[in-house]
Amino acid sequence: MANHKSAEKRNRQTERRTEVNRGNRSRLRTEIKKLRTAIDSGNQAEAGKLLSSTLSLIDKSVQKGILHRNAAARHKSRLSGHVAELSTAK
C-alpha cells in the first residue's frame, strides 16, 4: 500500500497503463490468431487480406512497447512465410 502522495499517483498511473497495455496485447493476439486460423484453413484470400493489417498491428505494438522489436520481426517473418507458402502451394 502506498504511503506517499507520489506513490499513490504512481499506482493510479500504473493501473491505467496496465489496462491500456492489456487491451493492446489482447487485440494483437486476437489478430494473430485470426491470421493463423486463415492460414491453417488454407484460405489464401482471407490470409492475404489479414496479413497487412496484422503486420501493421505488430509494428504498432513495438512502438507502444508491447512487443520487443526482434520478437515482432520473428512474428512478421513467420506469418509472411506461411502466407507465401499458401500462394505457392496452389
pLDDT at 90 over 90: no
Tens of pLDDT, residues 37-84: 999 999 999 999 999 999 999 999 999 999 999 999 999 999 999 999
Query: Can you give the length of the chain in residues?
Result: 90
Sorted by where each begins, the domain ranges of the chain are 5-28+42-89
- How high is the pLDDT of residue 2? 83
Choose the CATH number for 5-28+42-89 among 1.20.58, 2.60.40, 3.90.1570, 1.10.10.
1.20.58
* pTM check: above 0.75: yes
Q: Give CA–CA dist 27/33, Å, rounded.
A: 10
Nearest to 78 by CA among 61, 54, 60, 62: 54
Digit-coded pLDDT (tens) for 3-50: 999 999 999 999 999 999 999 999 999 999 999 999 999 999 999 999
